[in-house]
Structure 1
């Protein structure tokens, strides 16, 4: 099943499962109007790193029951429900170093299996979604539609065949890069080598279009954003990025790209990490990166 752009355009996004807090570490009050919107609209979170957090603690779901509040995590089922999340993209991020070790695909498949395991373990809460029809049906059943996003094109190991394998295993978006420039796409936090996308990078975008896989251009360089928007035949997403005019951080989106994204029919899913939304924090973060 393919994603219909209109559903993506109409969603109300929440950024992650973390509980918003003020400087005094007290919960922020949410207005009844906001709660009403959450109840009536499909709230879709575009990026959640819970699978990697579960891998890091090595307890998987046997030792850590996310049906209960887990203070050591940013996400658990009680908070997902409290936040009104109707659909969740689970990130199957793996470090870029796995490509150098020849383990990128294997590790990504392990993370995809971890998401499937979570869905099997909590069938009363989660159900795998492969398209917009699934999201609407699952939400109608009172469950959280669970989708899979690959964070970084290093996971495909420079192979369109591997890209197709990941799609077959349920991946419905791929972020073109993570923190490092690849053989075919420039990252925003590494040295640019291609001036955006290489010719193979353009093939990757076209194949994702053909499959019906969302092209995610968070993490990529501004030139890579522009190249992708030039090549793609479908709306793109930024799964977790913010506005560079507000906070001048490399991970954020320049105004001209925001306008191109509007014309493309795509969406920018706001990341509320301090460095991406607060100008002073953004400057400090950039200074640390330059050390």
Structure 2
């Protein structure tokens, strides 16, 4: 097997991924299923036609004839030949013809009668079965299914769903606030607080604390290591590392309540144990300093997604906030490939449309938008246009809905209903399998009314259940099942590449030597 992959590596014409063998198949699954469905539908049509044809012939298998002495004789009244025609002398022939008709009419008539009886019996049994099925479904729907008429009833349904499916919040800026306002200290008043509760005190800038995470039934929190664009080329790498350290220390300090998760199985295990799974995301490609070594180091420390850009371009990818529509450079494509190899999710929130399209062409794993909404409803630079929503669905990826008023209400004070409208719109364009939640708490200056902090997630899900177009399964997919599927698929791509013996990419991007660097790349 290794020899096969080595041969493909040395023969680029046999590869489809920049000199690397395309050993993954997920990108073709959607088209394959569509082809299979088309074939299945065609086959079904043929079967239906065949069944209809057999039904036509079932009542009269000889199509207008009966067997007499091994020969088929027509019964058409217009036919010149009939059973009543004579082959001998007059009356004797006629008598024999009449006797023959009487002899044959009896058995054939009895057979037809028995067939008719069987058809009636089968029809009755089928009707009874259909009525029984309908009655069972009606009973389950109206009597066994919990009522969704009141808000309290819907909240009970949400709690039951979230006991089975982890609720995932895909983006939270708490670590940046600790770095900025508490200078990365988690030891604040620790000597007087054995239970460490003071860490989760509620300063004015915070929309997140442990108590409210529990109230919100959050099972998976992705903590973002956010680094402002002003740090690009300066201490961006250091700021990202310090926030990764905050999340790791946080998990150690609150070991009875949260655990650091680095895989989809870690999330499942934490949810089963009733713990909050803490994941790490890094926001802004400038945090890696144009170094694949730094990217790999972030992954080793637990980072499981990287936002390629923030509100500024990087040398290898364009930002949605930039007037220039820049996409990926060759080095940017190398970063995408290396993230595929590592098993690191690619986050396209803040990326330019050109960057997003380039990534969707290059990647062999599904992508995410960790905190975005629909551009058709609100023309925010972080939001996603319809054509890219469709491309993300084809990629198998995920759009995680932002709660920021800038994204869902174009800067005015947002309300819970504004978020719901964006969720429903993205579902209509991309499909229920491609939506999730990435509020952006602790980075939202003006949270929506009704969704003021992380404790309000059940209110959102209960409000969705008011709409009977939303099933419990739909809510479960939005809450966390879709995110788990994406993470598992990214890990599957990683495992494919590992079995293919794909080595780390060693491409570099030349960087100019400045007063802030010891040496250039």
1:256 to 387, 409, 421: 387
Q: SS in structure 2 opposite 1:62?
A: coil
* Structure 1: gaps spanning 5 or more residues: 6-27, 283-291
Q: Aligned partners of 2:406, 2:155: CA distance in 1, in Å?
A: 26
1:145-184 to 2 correspondence within 5 Å?
A: 145-184=277-316
Which position in structure 2 is the counterpart of 1:289?
none
Name structure 2 gaps, 5 residues minimum.
1-25, 27-150, 190-196, 414-521
Structure 1 pair 244–63 and aligned structure 2 pair: CA distance change class (3 A): same
Which stretch has the larger CA shift, 71-80 or 92-101? 92-101
Q: Which residue of 2 aligns with 1:78?
A: 211
For 2:388 and 2:371, the matched residues in 1 are separated by 15
Partner of 2:333: 202
Larger Rg belongs to:
2
Farther-moved stretch of structure 1 (257-266 vs 38-47): 38-47
Contact 1:181-1:191 at 8 Å conserved across structures = no
The aligned counterpart of 2:186 is 61
Which of 402, 411, 425 is the equivalent residue of 1:271?
402
Q: Determine helix, strand or coil for the equivalent of 1:61.
A: coil
CA contact 2:179–2:242 (8 Å) conserved in 1: no
SS at match of 1:243: coil
**Helix, strand or coil for the counterpart of 1:130?**
coil
Cα shift at 1:117: 1.1
What secondary structure does 1:215 align onto? strand
Q: How far 1:188 moved relative to its partner?
A: 0.5
Distance 1:97 1:280 in 2: 23
Query: 2:62: which partner in 1?
Result: none
Shift in CA distance, 257/117, structure 1 to aligned 2, threshold 3 Å: same
Which of 94, 100, 109 is the aligned partner of 2:227? 94
Q: Distance in 2 between matches of 1:86 and 1:97?
A: 33
Task: Quote the offset at 1:105 in angstroms.
Answer: 1.4
Q: State the partner residue of 1:119.
A: 251
Q: CA deviation at 1:130?
A: 0.8
Alpha-carbon offset, residue 191 of structure 1 = 3.2
Q: TM-score, with normalisation over the residues of structure 2?
A: 0.47
The alignment yields a C-alpha RMSD, in angstroms, of 2.0
Q: CA deviation at 1:81?
A: 0.8
Matched, 1:216 2:216: no
Question: Does residue 41 of the first structure (1) align with residue 165 of the second (2)?
Answer: yes
- Structure 1 window deviating more from structure 2 (29-38 vs 120-129): it is 29-38
In 1, distance between residues paired with 2:356 and 2:296? 22
Return the offset for 1:56: 1.7
C-alpha contact 1:66 1:76 (8 A) present in aligned 2: no
1:89 alignment partner, SS class: strand
Distance 1:81 1:191 in 2: 42
Closer, same or farther in 2 for the Cα pair 1:71/1:97, shift >3 Å? closer
Task: Report the secondary structure of 1:150's partner residue.
Answer: strand
Q: Is the 8 A contact 2:373 2:407 kept in 1?
A: yes
Deviation per CA, 1:132-184, whole angstroms, max 9, x where unpaired? 01110111111011110000110110111111111111110000001101100
Match of 2:378 among 247, 253, 261: 247
- CA–CA separation in structure 2 for the residues paired with 1:128 and 1:171: 10
CA contact under 8 A between 1:119 and 1:127: conserved in structure 2? yes
Question: Is the contact between residue 175 and residue 223 of structure 2 (CA under 8 Å) also seen in structure 1?
Answer: yes
Is the Cα–Cα contact under 8 Å of residues 69 and 77 in structure 1 kept in the other structure? no
Aligned residues: 254
Looking at structure 2, the residues matched to 228 and 190 of structure 1 have their Cα atoms a distance apart, in angstroms, of 18
SS of 1:88's partner is strand
The structural deviation recorded for 1:96 is 2.0
Return the offset for 1:84.
1.0
SS in 1 for 2:221: strand
Cα displacement string for residues 232-290 of structure 1 (whole angstroms, at most 9, x for unaligned residues): 100100100001111111110000000011111111100011121124639xxxxxxxx
Q: Is the 8 A contact 2:339 2:345 kept in 1?
A: yes
The answer to whether structure 1 residue 227 and structure 2 residue 351 are counterparts is no
2:198 and 2:261 map into 1 onto residues whose CA distance is 20
- Find the residue that maps to 1:227 and give its secondary structure: helix
Shift of 1:48: 0.5
The CA deviation at 1:222 is: 1.1
Query: Of 135, 138, 143, which aligns to 2:267?
Result: 135
Deviation, structure 1 residue 93 = 1.0
